[in-house]
Amino acid sequence: MTKRIDPAAAPQFNGTTYPSPYDEPCLARQRTRLGDAAGLTQFGVNLLRLPPGAWSAQRHWHVGEDEFIYVVSGEVVLVTDAGDEVLRPGDCAGFKAGDENGHCLQNRSSADATVLEVGTRTPGGDTAYYPECDMVARSGGYTKRDGTPYPKQERRGG
């Protein structure tokens, strides 16, 4: 068996399970789980495709997991407390676990963008905070900031 990963055979995770209305900008995102295809468990590696207008996520930060992104093609806007930064192929950024400066990528261009993204996989899952949404991601699902669970949603979009 060859070691080269066949993206067509890799698990695909498209769209989102965010509760409404936070799902809207993320419905069109598409992720190919390359690391999973190779049986990796310690970190995830996805090829993220963002059509025009799509976002990688709502702005968020992880309590326990490092993240890293590398732009492969197209152009995305990285949104953080540092303001908007346009990232082009070869540009990259990292987001340290516990750093409360939330981030997301937005495709404001008229062409697709693809981004390689890496994130630690914590056994049992991690917590993520969304500074611009009344939403927290916990291992059991999404809740409001006060802990009230959102109804579980099917994955949709993509």
Stretch that binds its own copies, among 19-27, 77-85, 131-139, 150-158 (CB under 8 A): 77-85
How many chain residues are in contact with its own copies, going by CB under 8 A? 38
Under DSSP, the state recorded for 151 is P
Stretch that binds its own copies, among 18-26, 64-72, 133-141, 145-153 (CB under 8 A): 64-72
b/e per residue, 4-18, with b = 16+ CB within 10 A? Answer: ebeeeebeebebbbb
Helices (H) and strands (E) counted in the chain, each on its own, are: 1, 13
At 153, the amino acid letter reads Q
> Considering only residues 17-56, where is the footprint of its own copies by CB under 8 A?
34-35, 37-43, 45
CB 92 within 8 A of CB 100: no
| Region class of 39: left (phi > 0), else alpha (psi between -120 and 50), else beta | left
> Considering only residues 138-157, where is the footprint of its own copies by CB under 8 A?
none
Q: For 72-115, what is the HEC assignment?
A: EECCEEEEECCEEEEECCCCEEEECCCCCCCEEEECCCCCCEEE
From candidates 48, 78, 136, 137, binder to its own copies by CB under 8 A: 78
* 87 binds its own copies per the rule CB under 8 A: yes
Output 29 or 62, the one with its CB closest to its own copies: 62
* 124 binds its own copies per the rule CB under 8 A: no
CB of 22 to its own copies, least distance (A): 22
Strand-pairing partners, residue 103, are 60
Output 20 or 41, the one with its CB closest to its own copies: 41
- Give the binding site for its own copies (CB under 8 A): 1-5, 34-35, 37-43, 45, 65-66, 68, 70, 72, 78, 80, 82, 85, 87, 90-97, 101, 103, 116, 118, 120
